[in-house]
Chain A
Amino acid sequence: MSYARRDWINAAGGLALALAVRPASAVSTTTLQEAIKRWAGGQPVRVGRVLLDIAPLVENGNAVPIRVTVDSPMSATDRVTEIIVFNERNPQRDVVRFAFGPASPRAEVATRIRLATSQQLVALARLADGSQWMHAVDVVVTLAACIEN
């Protein structure tokens, strides 16, 4: 048995492991990092409390359902003031921005978005105490938006 084959098998196993353990919460691209930095105004953004719910494999990029939920009691003092969603590879970084007024009982929102190609999405939330939270998700798009022609 040749060592080359064994090396290949070991290398393939390592690669599969590397793909599996890649943290989905990390923001990998500079374009997204810049958008987040601009929104955060230099303040720290922590991973957690936000859940961006989207199908990991999207068949039609023209209308992709997303739902953002933030773990918050939405009381008078402890509440979410803002949720924003950024994308990585559409023509424009902003996707949608939600601001919550005093009559909002739950920081949970849903909409349908366009995705130009496979990319990373990130949802961020700003709380009344000034803390900022995020959740990033990688999405594979098989039929992209904006290619009707």
Chain B
Amino acid sequence: MADSPKVRSLIHLPEVIRKGQPFEVRTTLGHPMENGLRADGYGNVVPRNLVTRFECRHDGVLVCSIDLFPAIAANPYLAFWVRAETPGTLAFEWLGDNGFRHHESRAIGLA
């Protein structure tokens, strides 16, 4: 499945990653997270459009999966910890309503 167009995400990793040492990964996705409860200025309900799922994998091994509900703020920010014993790839995937999909990956080189 292809990524949704015109979606931007930020992924922040430490500059130096050491073997076996945990590090925090911080991610932000540009997304309105419309919960379907809000009205626009004309009284029309803005249709629901949420990111509902996030997954992070290190060389295919699950680090964490996150279920997002309407209470998550717009432009969802998610931070969690990863530990790498070997160099590899961190893969990030966001899934949402109306077939929304966005994925990113970052190579992890160990110092």
Contacts and interface: CB of A to CB of B under 8 A. Distances in A.
Contacts of A146: 35, 37-38
Given A99-B64, A105-B22, A91 B82 contact: no
Contacts of A96: 66-69, 71-72
A101 B61 contact: yes
Interface string B54-80: 000110011111111111111011111
B2 interface: no
A39 B66 CA distance: 16
Contacts of B74: 62-63
Given A102-B62, A103-B61, A104-B80, A94 B71 contact: yes
A92 B68 CA distance: 12
A55 interface: no
Interface in A86-129: 87, 90-92, 94-106, 108-115
A113 B82 contact: no
A115 B70 CA distance: 11
Nearest to B26: A110
A75 B76 CA distance: 29
A149 interface: yes
A18 B28 CA distance: 42
Interface string A56-99: 00000011100100000000000000000001001110111111
Contacts of A102: 61-62
A148 interface: yes
B10 to A, nearest CB: 13
A87 B66 CA distance: 17
A104 to B, nearest CB: 5
A38 to B, nearest CB: 14
A64 B78 CA distance: 13
A109 B79 contact: yes
A67 B26 CA distance: 12
Given A97-B66, A99-B66, A146-B35, 7 more contacts: A63-B74, A90-B70, A94-B67, A99-B67, A101-B61, A101-B65, A103-B61
25 contacts: A63-B73, A64-B73, A91-B35, A91-B37, A92-B71, A94-B69, A95-B72, A96-B67, A96-B71, A97-B69, A99-B64, A99-B65, A99-B66, A99-B67, A100-B63, A101-B57, A101-B61, A102-B62, A103-B61, A109-B79, A110-B77, A110-B78, A111-B76, A112-B76, A146-B37
